[in-house]
Amino acid sequence: MNELESLKKKIKYRSSYRGTKEMDILLSSFVSKVINFLSLQELKNLKDFMDCDDEEISNFYLNKIPMTNFNNKKILDLFIIHKIS
Domain membership of residue 22 (yes or no) is: yes
Task: Give the CATH number for residue 30.
Answer: 1.10.150.250
Separation of alpha carbons 60 and 62, rounded Å = 6
Q: Is the dihedral of CA 7, 27, 39, 52 positive or negative?
A: negative
Domain count of the fold of the chain: 1
Domain membership of residue 33 (yes or no) is: yes
- pTM for this one? 0.93
Burial class (CB in 10 A: 0-12, 13-18, 19+), 9: exposed
pLDDT per residue as tens digits for the range 12-61: 999 999 989 999 999 999 999 999 999 999 999 999 999 999 999 999 99
Domain membership of residue 85 (yes or no) is: no
